[in-house]
Amino acid sequence: MFSAGESSGDKHAANMFLELKKQLPSIKGIGMGGVKMQQAGIEIEYDSSGIGVIGLIEIIKHFGEIHRALKLMKRLIVVEEPDLLVCVDYKEFNFKLARFAKQQGIKVLFYVSPQVWASRPGRVVKYGKVIDMMAVIFPFETAYYEAKNIPVKYVGHPSVDKVSPNNSKTENLIQFSFQADKPIVGLLPGSRDNEINRMLPVMLAAAEKISKSHAGIQFLLPQADSISDELLQSYLEKYDIQINVIKNQTYDVIQCCDAIMTTSGTATLEISLLKIPMVITYKLSAITYLLAKYLVITKFIGLPNIIAGKQIVKELIQNDANEKNLADEINLILDNSKYREKMLTELTKVKEMLGQGGGSKNMADLAVSMLKN
């Protein structure tokens, strides 16, 4: 049984299950997730595309739906009695589900650790009580669990294997009808509705500014599976700028870009692996932001900066996340070759730090060993 509440978790669970089926062809997968998991052959009992929200206010607004999802998943555990529950990210929800599963005598494998290195390191003990194994995706995370004698395994980041375009950049430029001699800027506003509502208008306004200083510049937007056409178009139609929206080919689309403005999250790591210069931006509700400032102990929110241990990519957060700052940073990346090359060098180092990959297969191996034992 899988429990994934967000777009990135949906991908990770799907890739893991595809690897699992290679080892155990008759295995059955059920649970909560999205399109990718369904395509991989997992029976989706609850579509989680509507509950992938971040922030205190946003969670309160969606509390009823999140509560219904948790109730359904608990009932599914009782009825189906799975041999293994794999909780993929979506921390607070999956903590409650894991605790319930343990009470029912179900083995629990937690995939993607809470960011204990960023805030509330005491959560290590709390999570250790409700899981049988924590699978971490960054090598430095194991020390937090080993210090408390909690079973932990570094499996590698799943994106290392999967972030690979299907075609060459030249082929993609032709396929997407882009001009190779004109700069291309990507807009990645997020995979949640509330991220689109908060970040897309700022990005579109920044794109309008950028277009005034770069004749013939091209813009693209890879649309996440969890975002509806209606929501995107409701914003795109308000701006006098051409945005090429492309579905289901995220890595091919990113590869075409000369620069990208992106919300924080897994996308920043995927962009790093493809070595595309970027600016990271994010906005939260005022209350959530104040709470985060109080709780978060890390200096950065962007994964490339966190992994590097220093700022290699500009972060524009909350009040700094405005159209002028975004436009200025993208213009700097496009126009200043030394600045651009330095960022590319640092992104290459981040890619090297993440190792050779094998994350999805390593997760499948770990699940198989837990099933056999």
Q: pLDDT tens digits for 136-149? A: 998 888 999 999 99
Pairing of strands 259-263, 184-188: parallel
Q: Is the pLDDT of residue 224 over 90?
A: no
Alpha-carbon dihedral sign for residues 225, 229, 230, 234 = positive
pLDDT of residue 181: 92
Q: For the segment 239-289, what is each residue's pLDDT rounded down to a tens digit?
A: 989 999 999 889 999 999 999 999 988 899 999 999 999 999 988 776 766
- pLDDT in the model for residue 58: 62
Q: What confidence tens digit (pLDDT) does each residue in 170-215 have?
A: 999 999 999 999 999 999 998 888 889 999 999 999 999 999 999 8
Per-residue pLDDT at 63:
77
pLDDT in tens, 81-111: 999 999 999 989 999 999 999 999 999 999 9
Residue found under tokens 């299907």 = 166
Q: What's the pLDDT band for 300 if we cut at 50, 70, 90?
A: confident
Mean pLDDT, rounded, for 33-41: 95
The per-residue pLDDT for range 319-347, each reduced to its tens digit, is 899 999 999 999 999 999 999 999 999 99
Residues 6+ apart with CB under 8 A from 148: 124, 125, 128
In this prediction, residue 126 has a pLDDT band, given cuts at 50, 70 and 90, of very high
Residue 353 has pLDDT above 80, yes or no: yes
Burial class (CB in 10 A: 0-12, 13-18, 19+), 123: middle
Residue 296 has what pLDDT? 65
Residue 121's pLDDT band, with cuts at 50, 70 and 90, is confident
Tell me, what's the pLDDT at 172?
93
Amino acid at 27: I
What domains can be seen in the chain, in order of their start residue? 2-158+358-372 (3.40.50.2000), 169-353 (3.40.50.2000)
pLDDT band at 311 (very low <50, low <70, confident <90, very high): very high
Task: Please give the pLDDT value at position 52.
Answer: 64
Is the pLDDT score of 297 beyond 60? no
Give strand pairing partners of 283: none
Mean pLDDT of the chain: 91
Is 66 a residue whose pLDDT tops 70? yes
Are the beta carbons of 94 and 127 closer than 8 angstroms?
no
- Output 164 or 54, whichever has higher pLDDT: 164
For residue 266, the model assigns a pLDDT of 83
3-state SS string for the chain = CEEECCHHHHHHHHHHHHHHHHHCCCCCCEEEECHHHHHHCCEEEEEHHHCCCCCHHHHHHCHHHHHHHHHHHHHHHHHHCCCCEEEECCHHHHHHHHHHHHHCCCCEEEECCCCCCCECCCHHHHHHCCCCEEEECCHHHHHHHHCCCCCEEECCCCHHHHCCCCCCHHHHHHHCCCCCCCCEEEEECCCCHHHHHHHHHHHHHHHHHHHHHCCCCEEEEEECCCCCHHHHHHHHCCCCCCEEEEECCHHHHHHCCCEEEEECCHHHHHHHHCCCCEEEEECCCHHHHHHHHHHECCCCCCHHHHHHCCCCCCEEEHHHCCHHHHHHHHHHHHHCHHHHHHHHHHHHHHHHHCCCCCHHHHHHHHHHHHHHC
Mean pLDDT to the nearest integer, 350-366: 89
Best-predicted range by mean pLDDT (315-319, 332-336, 352-356, 357-361): 332-336
Judge whether 261 and 243 are in contact, CB under 8 Å: no
Predicted pLDDT at 59: 66
Residues in contact with 208: Cβ distance below 8 Å, sequence separation at least 6, in sequence order: 239, 240, 241, 323
